[in-house]
């Protein structure tokens, strides 16, 4: 074959290969999909009054807890009448010791007193006769006084066989055991006096400067309920270990607060005007709270992520301390699916949650 024919054949093969390659590339090229705009609803911030608060934590404790103990020794408990949780009145009998031995001893002492009184009267009739010395007469007088004192002491022991409540309140602990032989000073019961509870909030030095007596406190309980109270007093000094100071707030009666709870309290300082937006507009990402602000220009509608400082949460709304203004259009529904710079379509039904 001539060289010129080989050259032409090679050229034809090269052209065909190039055409095949170009065709394959055309078939593999896919059309880029158009950007999809997410439909969102919008809202704006509203101004409202928020209570200015200080948050603190601390235990719920008894205002005063009385220890009720045995005041006699050597006697057996024959009745335990009250138990933990019972509401009692001042003077109400909580437990009772055996009285049989003490009653027998009292009867013996009473007989001794009667005899001593008789001897005393006889001695006094002989005082001026000279038949009895002054020393002997004084001895009879002293014996009568001692006999009466001994009988009075035994009467007091008989009185103490009834263990009574020193004040109105609620029994918070019971150590009294039926059949136990008591000793003077043994703890039998504990009583929350007048059923009064207090919250002992722990505050930093920066918080403490805003606190005064009489300020209202709202305490959040573990069951989700709240209890109201007011600050009664403030500790005179800071704890040297924690560098915290304690405030004592009386809790209103009728709440479900119980001594021993460790709870958070909010001390109400006053009211301040601040912005609020629906809570679902706020997105938490990378440890920061943010909202998406809607912008519209010639190229379309987009959103920009804006960090905000969140304050209090109330119902379905949150307080915004900084980051937005009242005029900003904010994404309401769909904020959790957006990224900074996304194209959006705003629903014609404007978010009405204000």
Distance between CA 326 and CA 46 in Å, rounded? 6
Give the count of beta carbons closer than 10 Å to the beta carbon of residue 200: 17
Taking only the tens place, the pLDDT of each residue in 85-120 is 999 999 999 999 999 999 999 999 999 999 999 988
| 65-192 CATH fold | OB fold (Dihydrolipoamide Acetyltransferase, E2P) (2.40.50)
Residue spans in the chain of domains classed CATH 2.40.30.170: 54-63+198-272
- Is the whole-model pTM more than 0.75? no
Is the pLDDT assigned to residue 157 strictly greater than 80?
A: yes
- In degrees and rounded to multiples of 5, residue 117 shows phi and psi of -65, -40
Q: Read off the tokens for 163.
A: 């263990």
The per-residue pLDDT for 19 is: 57
Domain 54-63+198-272 has CATH 2.40.30.170: yes
Mean pLDDT is lowest, of 4-18, 43-57, 60-74, 204-218, for 4-18
HSE of 250, CA atoms in CB hemisphere, 13 A: 11
Is the pLDDT assigned to residue 63 strictly greater than 60?
A: yes
The mean pLDDT of 280-306, rounded to a whole number, is: 89
Q: For strand 162-164 and strand 93-97, is the pairing parallel, antiparallel, or unpaired?
A: antiparallel
Question: Packing angle between helix 134-159 and helix 100-125, nearest 10 degrees?
Answer: 160
20: confidence class by pLDDT, cuts 50, 70, 90? low
Taking only the tens place, the pLDDT of each residue in 66-92 is 999 999 999 999 999 999 999 999 999
Helix (H) or strand (E) run with residue 203 in it: strand 197-203
Average pLDDT, the chain: 87
Architecture of domain 38-50+273-346: Beta Barrel (2.40)
Residue spans in the chain of domains classed CATH 2.40.420.20: 38-50+273-346
Taking only the tens place, the pLDDT of each residue in 182-230 is 999 999 999 999 999 999 999 999 999 999 999 999 999 999 899 999 9
The CA-atom distances, in angstroms, between 304 and each of 285, 290, 311, 320, 344 are: 14, 10, 22, 17, 11
Distance between CA 23 and CA 31 in Å, rounded? 16
For residue 254, the cross-strand partners are none
Distance between CA 317 and CA 354 in Å, rounded? 8
The per-residue pLDDT for 31 is: 47
Residue spans in the chain of domains classed CATH 2.40.50.100: 65-192
For residue 163, the cross-strand partners are 95
Tokens 């918080």, residue located: 207
């Amino acid at each position: 074959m001539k060289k010129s024919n080989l050259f032409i054949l090679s050229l034809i093969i090269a052209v065909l290969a190039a055409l095949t390659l170009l065709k394959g590339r055309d078939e593999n090229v896919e059309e880029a999909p158009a950007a999809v705009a997410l439909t969102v609803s919008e809202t704006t911030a509203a101004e409202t009054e928020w209570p200015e608060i200080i948050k603190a934590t601390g235990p719920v404790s008894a205002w005063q807890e009385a220890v009720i103990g045995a005041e006699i020794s050597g006697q057996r408990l024959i009745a335990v009448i009250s138990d933990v949780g019972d509401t009692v009145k001042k003077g109400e009998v909580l437990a009772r010791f055996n009285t049989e031995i003490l009653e027998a001893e009292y009867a013996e002492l009473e007989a001794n007193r009667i005899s001593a009184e008789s001897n005393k009267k006889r001695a006094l009739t002989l005082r001026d006769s000279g038949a009895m010395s002054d020393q002997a007469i004084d001895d009879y007088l002293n014996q009568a006084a001692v006999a009466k004192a001994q009988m009075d002491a035994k009467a007091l022991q008989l009185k103490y066989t009834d263990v009574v409540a020193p004040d109105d309140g609620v029994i918070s602990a019971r150590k009294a055991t039926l059949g136990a032989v008591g000793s003077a000073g043994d703890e039998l019961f504990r009583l929350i006096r007048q059923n009064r509870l207090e919250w002992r909030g722990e505050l930093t030095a920066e918080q403490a400067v805003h606190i005064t007596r009489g300020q209202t406190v709202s305490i959040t309980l573990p069951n989700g309920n709240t209890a109201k109270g007011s600050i009664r007093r403030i500790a005179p000094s800071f704890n040297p270990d924690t560098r915290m100071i304690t405030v004592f707030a009386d809790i209103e009666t009728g709440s479900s607060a119980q001594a021993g709870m460790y709870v958070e309290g909010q001390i109400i300082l006053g009211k301040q005007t601040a912005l609020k937006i629906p809570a679902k507009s706020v997105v938490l990402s990378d440890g920061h709270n943010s909202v998406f602000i809607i912008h519209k220009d010639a190229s379309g509608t987009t959103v920009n992520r804006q960090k905000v400082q969140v304050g209090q949460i109330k119902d379905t709304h949150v307080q915004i301390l900084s980051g937005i203004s009242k005029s900003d259009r904010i994404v309401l529904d769909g904020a959790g699916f957006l990224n900074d710079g996304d194209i959006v379509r705003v629903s014609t039904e404007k978010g009405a949650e204000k």
